[in-house]
Structure 1
Amino acid sequence: MSERTIHLDPDPRNWRSRKIEVRPHRWYATVALDRDGHVAAVTRRGDDPELPSAYTAALNKARAASCDRIWYDGYSGSFVGGNGPSYITMPVPFSQVTLTVDALRAAELDHDYSGLHTLADRLALPIDDWLAPGDRELIRGIDFDPPPHVFLSFLRAKAGRLGLRLNGRATAGSVWVRPTLPAAQKQLRERFPEQYPGWVDRWTGYVEPDGTFARPWVGGREEDLSYGATPVQFRSLSTASGGECPCGMTLREPGDGGDEHTAHHTMWAFGARVPKNLDWWGDLAVVTTQSPITWRRLAHQVAGMPQRENHYDFRSWSHLGEPEGTPDNMRAYLLKANGYVIGYLAAHDTNEHRHWDLKDGSEYDGEDDAMRPRIILIWVADAYRCKGVGALLVQALADDFGCKIADVSWSSPVSQLGRRLARRVSPNGIWVS
């Protein structure tokens, strides 16, 4: 199918003219009614450009039936479009494109919405029958047409939106289903009926009629392990569920189901996974601003851990452009263990320092202009903290520069954890800058 445009007004060159555009996709076609110029002209006259309620209701009914039909056929994505008044889109199966164009033309020009209702009725699926209570076998070619696994996925999604548990299984040419209503979903709908208008419980207390063909057992877990079970009871308690996680993210349940927090917390606790396409021949890698982009991206990824944990405004490593040197020899030390980057030290060279004896409340003294390596930030994965990893990174920095640990400079102000590390590796004091 190729793209096409159908003009609804006599003069297609007029900017106010309405037109229907048909655009094919892999699984379906989009029939779009462009009313933008028409709406602008109506608004300019001072009239209401909104669609009549009967028009909107017919569109919603037809669109819902059409989307269900496309998902039923195997499409697993989503749909993007408009619902007027300037732009109306209808995703439809290829076989219904002509009927959809005629229905939109009649609705737009003659205010006849019967075509949209006819389209909805033609595409409607017997979902209520499929999700009726009882254990039964739906046979391909009689009860449904798509492959059984596709049909089962579709039914599971529809059952989930209705709060049902499908208890389904696909076979070679059929799908077994036994929809049930969990007690929690039943309580939710009975407690807030205004959120579920027209809902009727058809599943609780349903008894299979005598002579019903039983679903064959195919091995694995025993079935009906929850049959006759007592519903779980719930209690309300005051718990400290808010606040902040040690990894830097909030403890409250996020909108994504916790996926982002889980991924970040895992990396914060165990380190960043070393990419499989990265050849890492030793334990410690020194990444500079001239290193390959894969290494610099890894340093940038690891630098995100202390940024989020300590709520810094910026990451300590941001060199993701073309490889180029820096006057201060900016670099990052990445320590690997068990396939993860567990330690990170960002450093550069500078020549403005003052000495500090590491005593609480004491002032800096002893200015120095010698070129020294300066620690910008040190981070260690949580599972490896208090095990000497920080001291190992500081020693690696000193060895790489060719100086002693006591000659290394630390960025000011030094955090509480940084002071503890500095007192352990350089008890006589440190240089700060």
Structure 2
Amino acid sequence: MKLFTKYSRLNLAVMSLVFVISGLIYYLLISNMLIAELDEALGEYEVRMEKYLSINGALPVFENIEEVLVSYHKINKAQDKVYSTVKLYDAEEHAYGVFRQLLFTQKVKGQLYQVKICIPIEGTKMLTNVIAFTTLGMLLLVIVSSLIFNYWILGRLWRPFYTAMSVLRTYKLGSNVVPKLPVTEIEEFSFMNASLTKLMSSIGEDYNVLKEFTENAAHEIQTPLAIIRSKLDVMIQAENLSESQSMEISSIYTGIRRLSKLNHSLLLLAKIENDQFSGIEKIDMKEKLQEKFSQFHELWEGKALQVVVDLNDSTLEANHDLVDVLLNNLLSNAGNHNYDRGDLKIALHADVLEITNSGNGAKLEEAALFTRFYKENQHSSSNGLGLSIIKQICDRSGIDVHYRFTDGYHSFILTWITP
């Protein structure tokens, strides 16, 4: 989830909570204020009644003017003044209505009367609702406007960040060109851009030093290895060697050969990663595979493999040398990791190459399959770089490579877009 989305959701949740709580509080406040106004009006009627009584010596006669209901009842005992909200039948409206009521005791010529004054609340409630919903509507409009404004302004504020991330995605290690990040007035993003530029420059320099060291080391190792192998060849051919000496020399020779192969594979990987195979040409994959079959014929015959071939016309735009290494590794693995009299199936279509072989092992670990030095069997004589080289070549050549295991058969499927 993006930071902006997370912020928007939290902001919306908080705003909604504030809206609900403030709406309830505001409604209650307005309602209580208007009830207080009604109580004040009832109090004024009480004062006017007492004034009328003091002048005329009798209770005034009300004709329910302004929807105010007034009634008198004789009582024997004085009662406390009480304000309350009641539901009464309105004869004029022929329906029950909600009223604010004041009860108090008034003495007239020695007789106690309970005076009841009622004012309808319906108009007040309507006014309360109008004020409350109008205000809440304005508050909702402010919240929505704030969210839209935040979405717009935050999108603009975070634009330098996303631009910098987009530039970083296109940055290629070893290109010797540090991309320019956008200039921004925001201090935090400006600091981030400066730090990233310095980091990319430092990483690029370290990478170039490491690349140069790897290339030089690989080349330098080849010469002493070749000298050791030639010396061992001479020693093996000597006639005065004992059987134990011959076995020791053979063991050393095997180790040197594996070391030489490992060095060659590492050097090849370094060249691929450094884009030293840059030439692109159209390759006839059918013709290329037929050429490879003649090279691997003896290996397959030695293990009596049952080879089934289905080749159709197909072309691929890639580096010729890389495709040559790719096919060598795929076909070599299919033969070496097969058992005697096993099956080998090769199918080529317009944009798909599938190589399937039987094998003694179970399904390979897909998560680590194309990592360097991965081995199905740790005691294998393989250096574990073959599949890593295959993956690197496919990535550089625009080829998708997938592994599949079905009923004891291992399959590597290569797909590409036909030009």
Instruction: Give the structure-1-normalised TM-score.
Output: 0.17
Q: From the CA coordinates, give the structure whose radius of gyration is larger.
A: 2
Where is the helix percentage greater, Structure 1 or Structure 2? 2
